[in-house]
Amino acid sequence: MKTIAKLFILTILLGSLGSCKKNQTGGKATLKGVVKHHDKPIADAYVYVKFNATEFPGDDYKLYDTYVQADASGNYSISFYKGTYYVYAVGRDLDIPSPYLVKGGLSVSLRNKENLVKDIAITE
- N-to-C CA span, the chain: 69
pLDDT range class, residue 21, cuts 50, 70, 90:
low
- As to burial, measured by CB atoms within 10 angstroms (0-12 exposed, 13-18 middle, 19+ buried), residue 1 is exposed
Q: Which domains does the chain have, with CATH numbers?
A: 22-121 (2.60.40.1120)
pTM of the shown model:
0.81
Q: Single out the residue of 51, 27, 36 nearest to residue 116, CA to CA.
A: 27
Strand 46-51 to 83-92 pairing: antiparallel
Q: Give me the pLDDT at residue 103, please.
A: 96
pLDDT tens sequence across 51-106: 999 999 999 999 999 999 999 999 999 999 999 999 999 999 988 887 789 999 99
Q: Give me the pLDDT at residue 61, please.
A: 94
CA distance 31 to 52: 15
Q: Give me the pLDDT at residue 37, please.
A: 96
Q: Give me the pLDDT at residue 10, please.
A: 46
- As to burial, measured by CB atoms within 10 angstroms (0-12 exposed, 13-18 middle, 19+ buried), residue 96 is middle
pLDDT tens sequence across 27-52: 999 999 999 999 999 999 999 999 99
